[in-house]
Amino acid sequence: MRDYFVADDKILPISQVPAALLELAKNSRMDIDELLRGTGIFLSDLTRRDHNISCAQLKHLIGNLGKQERQPELALRFGRQLPYINNSILLQAISNAASIRDLLEILRTYCRLYYPMCYLHLVSDSKNHYLIVNDAIGCPQQQPFLFQSFISSLITLLKASDIDSNQLAFLLEHSQPLDTAPLHTYLGSRIVYNAPVTAVIIPDTISQKTLTNASEFIKRQALTQCQQLLRKIPGRQGFIENLQRLLLRRALREDITLQRCSDLYGVSPATFKRRLKAHHTSFQQELDYARKLLALSSLVIWQMNNEETAHYLRINDSANFRRSFKRWTGFLPSALKQQLLSLKPSSPLNTDDAITPP
């Protein structure tokens, strides 16, 4: 039995994210029949608490929202509801986190129970923590909605812990919208657009703050129940997340190819390519993304130079590395370092020990 879910697997309880999203749309006076068109979701399904839908259906619903949406802040408004519409046991654990750093670790570890469409990396240095938000299932067109709603939900959790969100900063992969007012209202003005990754930047002075009224006993009990639930539910990771973790583990040890990946998944290259296409991606895109994360880790976190990073990534020379890096990020290494001058992490990306320093 595979330990990941694909876009067509029905793993999302309709009574949680889908129902809350439709309720928000209804309150915003959107046409619900139009929103449901082509999704395979029916109004009668919403009353069936044991009914699940697939990520593909949710993606279609979000796409329909984009066609109707007259309020750009809908994703951000939805994010405010997100902590309270999913797993109540996980929320209990989060509410009893000992510190903000502890809260971030819980979110990273149990994101499958919180927002299955995304997964997280956590990068830390002596000054900041960087929570990188990634696409778990292949939603390129829906990424702005998914990532912004997740970030809004994190701000909601931090505010509930008496954290001033004005001290946070944000990296967003998408370009700056014509109307920036909604994002500035919800996130503040410290936003970098067209960034190489989407991330929330949290100062260490905030993350180490001890949270009052937290119970270690209640948190441990809740996390034990979350672990039990993870063992029971189908697929602990989205297909893209599962592939990314595999690539991050192997890209530094071998020249990973489509054929090699296909063998590891127990399918033919043609079948693997079709599976990737069904998730709106390709093998080269995913390999490039993994290498981008590794390159950012080595350049920014470990402060390696171009030659050292090229060797680390098994690239022939620094010139080839610079060209590849420009393709992955849109920046030459020197330009990106200049842009991220204030971001100088000193610890590796936390990908379940998938990335280790050279």
Range of the domain at 330: 237-339
- Provide the pLDDT confidence category of residue 32 given band limits of 50, 70 and 90: very high
Mean pLDDT of 234-263: 93
The reported pLDDT for the residue numbered 351 is 41
Residue 177 clears pLDDT 80, i.e. is over it: yes
CB atoms within 10 A of CB 188: 16
* 332 contacts: CB under 8 Å, gap ≥ 6: 322, 325, 326
Instruction: Determine the Cα–Cα distance for residues 5 and 234; give it in Å rounded to an integer.
Output: 7
In a domain, 14, yes or no: no
- Whether 288 has a pLDDT exceeding 60, the answer reads yes
The pLDDT of residue 158: 93
216 domain residue, yes or no: no
pLDDT at residue 298, rounded to an integer: 84
pLDDT for 128 equals 82
On the question of pLDDT at 226 being above 90, the answer is yes
pLDDT of 189-202, one tens digit each? 889 888 899 999 99
pLDDT above 90: residue 1: no
Which segments of 38-87 does DSSP mark as H helices, in order?
Answer: 55-68, 74-81
Q: What does the mean pLDDT of the chain come to?
A: 89
Tell me whether residue 184 is in a domain: no
Taking residues 149-175, what's their average pLDDT? 92
- CB-CB contact of 123 with 130 (8 Å): yes
Q: Is residue 297 part of a domain?
A: yes
Q: How confident is residue 353, by pLDDT bands cut at 50, 70 and 90? A: very low
The distance of Cα 251 from the centroid of its chain, to the nearest Å, equals 21
Q: Across residues 188-215, what is the average pLDDT?
A: 89
Integer CA distances (angstroms), 110 to 10, 38, 157, 222, 227, in order: 19, 31, 15, 12, 8
In three-state form (DSSP H/G/I as H, E/B as E, the rest C), the secondary structure along 199-228 is EEEEEHHHHCCECCCCCHHHHHHHHHHHHH
CATH of the domain at 290: 1.10.10.60
- E strand or H helix that includes residue 132: strand 128-135
Q: Is residue 91 assigned to a domain? A: no
Q: Sign (positive/negative) of CA torsion 284, 289, 292, 293?
A: negative
Answer whether 172's CB lies under 8 Å from 66's CB.
no
- In terms of Cα–Cα distance, which of 196, 210, 205, 192 is closest to 125? 205
The per-residue pLDDT for 237 is: 95
CB contact at 8 A, 21 and 65 = yes
Question: Quick one: pLDDT at residue 347?
Answer: 39
Q: Is the entire prediction scored with pTM above 0.75?
A: yes
* Residue 283 located in a structural domain: yes
DSSP state of 83: G
Q: How many domains does the chain have?
A: 1
